[in-house]
Structure formats: C-alpha cells, structure tokens
C-alpha cells in the first residue's frame, strides 16, 4: 500500500516507545494513594492527558496537586522506556521538517522517554502543555501540522489508542495508520503490527504488512478541517 503524504505525525507511547508497564505502575500507585481502584483508573489513561484523567476522579480544588503527583511518578519511571520495533528506523528515514511527535504527555516526560529509548527529539513536538483540549480532540494534531507548515490532509498519523485515533480522525488527517492490536476496529485506513511495516519513500509512505485495512475514503465522510478548540 502506498500513501502519498508530505509529513508523518507520530504519537509517542505505544507507537515509538514502550512505556506501558512503567506508566501503568505509576498510575496504580497514584490511584492507591487516593483510595481509588487502579483497575478503574487504568481503563482510561491511554492517549489522554493526565490533567483530564485526574479530573475524572479528583475534586477541582485538589486537581492541580494530584496532576503534579502523577506527572512526577511517571517521570521517575521514564528510564524504563524502550523503543518499539521499527521506531528508530522509520523515524530516522524522515527529514526533520516532515516529522513531528504528538503526545498527551507533558514535555518533560516526553523528552525523558525519548532519551531512554535512544530516539532523537524532532524540531516539532506537541505536548500536553501546548493545547487547550487534548486527545480525543483534534487540536494536538492540527497544531503539529500547522507548526510543520503542512495541511493536515497532507499528513499521515500513527496512533495506537482509541483516544489518539479519534483525535486523528477528528482532525481529518490524510491518512490514519493504526499501530498494534489496540487500534483494530477504530476506523483507521490501515492497521500495522509495528513500525517495521512502514517505510518513508521520500514522496510518501509505503506499507508492506497489515493486520487490518479500513474502508475510510478521502472523498466521503471526511468533512472540512476541524477547528481548534478555544
């Protein structure tokens, strides 16, 4: 499969790096410290900013301190992060002016996880601090495309979580690539097992192996470019 795109936008956790075990351990510790059930909290953390997850469980007047606590716990465990298969190879193929990392994590956590995984920091990153509304809102991906000077319809987005995929679809990205089995059935153009199945050609994206092919078409159901939330 060939996709003619001008830029690649990558989610980080679950796409470029494996931070799942460390992140879930941090959130479990946070939940227990607040007498919450870890299993309940863990169901909604992936692809969502910590401030929005915290708001589901903590009163507004305590949310800032609770968010700072979980951010600190995740940062402490960032050294356990490892690169996912194919991440270094694909990321290295793309020119810096045609790639971005778009994450729901704070900037400090993103930088720590990329460093632990041995991946370079691109010039364009979008973190939780850069938008008023995080995933599943389209804002993070629209900001990334704008900073790259690309129309979002020229961009391919790599995502693994339902929240992240919903953000990519809401942004009306040209191509949405799901990564891993968590992306199955979420409306992606194609789902690949990992980034070893993707190659940057210089003029677009080549997919060599897929585990699901979607039916989303660019000439129907896409609608106009989504606006940034205010």
- The answer to whether residues 204 and 136 belong to one domain is yes
- The answer to whether residues 68 and 27 belong to one domain is yes
Q: How many domains is the chain partitioned into structurally?
A: 2
Q: What is the residue range of 39's domain? A: 20-79
Among candidate residues 32, 58, 79, the one where a domain is terminated: 79
Q: Which two tokens stand for residue 2?
A: 């060939």
The domain that contains 208 carries what CATH number?
3.40.50.1000
The residue assigned the tokens 């778009």 is: 102
Q: Is 189 a catalytic residue?
A: no
The active-site residue, picked from 13, 18, 160, 189, is 13
Overall pTM surpassing 0.75 (yes/no): yes
Distances 73 to 27, 110, 142 between C-alpha atoms, Å = 8, 14, 29
Strands 205-207 and 2-3, bridge-based pairing: antiparallel
The residue assigned the tokens 């896409």 is: 222
Q: Is 151 a catalytic residue?
A: no
* Spatial distance between the Cα atoms of 45 and 67, rounded to a whole number of angstroms: 13
Q: What is the pLDDT of residue 220?
A: 37
Instruction: Identify whether 31 is part of a domain.
Output: yes
Instruction: Identify whether 220 is part of a domain.
Output: no
The residue assigned the tokens 């997850």 is: 53
- pLDDT per residue as tens digits for the range 129-155: 999 999 999 999 999 999 999 999 999
- The answer to whether residues 52 and 100 belong to one domain is no
Q: Which two tokens stand for residue 43?
A: 């169901």
- The answer to whether residues 91 and 133 belong to one domain is yes
Q: What is the pLDDT of residue 52?
A: 87
The active-site residue, picked from 11, 18, 139, 160, is 11
One pLDDT digit (tens) per residue for the chain, 230 residues: 999 999 999 999 999 999 988 989 998 999 999 999 998 898 877 778 888 899 999 999 999 999 999 999 999 999 999 999 999 999 999 999 999 999 999 999 999 999 999 999 999 999 999 999 999 999 999 999 999 999 999 999 999 999 999 999 999 999 999 999 999 999 999 999 999 999 999 989 999 999 999 866 443 333 344 444 43
- The answer to whether residues 70 and 140 belong to one domain is no
- The answer to whether residues 95 and 173 belong to one domain is yes
Instruction: Identify whether 221 is part of a domain.
Output: no
Q: What is the pLDDT of residue 47?
A: 75
């Amino acid at each position: 499969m060939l996709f003619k795109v001008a830029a690649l936008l990558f989610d980080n956790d679950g796409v470029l790096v494996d931070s799942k075990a460390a992140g879930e351990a941090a959130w479990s510790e946070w939940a227990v410290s607040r007498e919450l059930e870890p299993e309940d909290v863990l169901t909604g953390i992936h692809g969502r900013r910590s401030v929005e997850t915290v708001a589901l469980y903590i009163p507004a007047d305590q949310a800032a301190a609770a968010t700072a606590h979980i951010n600190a716990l995740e940062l402490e465990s960032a050294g356990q992060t490892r690169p996912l298969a194919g991440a270094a190879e694909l990321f290295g193929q793309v020119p810096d002016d045609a790639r971005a990392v778009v994450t729901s994590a704070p900037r400090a956590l993103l930088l720590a996880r990329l460093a632990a995984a041995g991946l370079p920091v691109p010039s364009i990153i979008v973190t939780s601090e850069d938008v008023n509304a995080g995933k599943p809102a389209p804002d993070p991906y629209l900001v990334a495309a704008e900073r790259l000077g690309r129309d979002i319809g020229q961009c391919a987005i790599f995502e693994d979580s339902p929240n992240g995929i919903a953000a990519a679809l809401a942004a009306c990205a040209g191509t949405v690539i799901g990564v891993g089995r968590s992306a199955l059935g979420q409306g992606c153009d194609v789902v690949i097992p990992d980034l070893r199945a993707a190659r940057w050609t210089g003029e677009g994206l080549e997919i060599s192996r897929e585990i699901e092919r979607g039916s989303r078409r660019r000439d129907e159901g896409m609608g106009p470019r989504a606006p940034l939330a205010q």
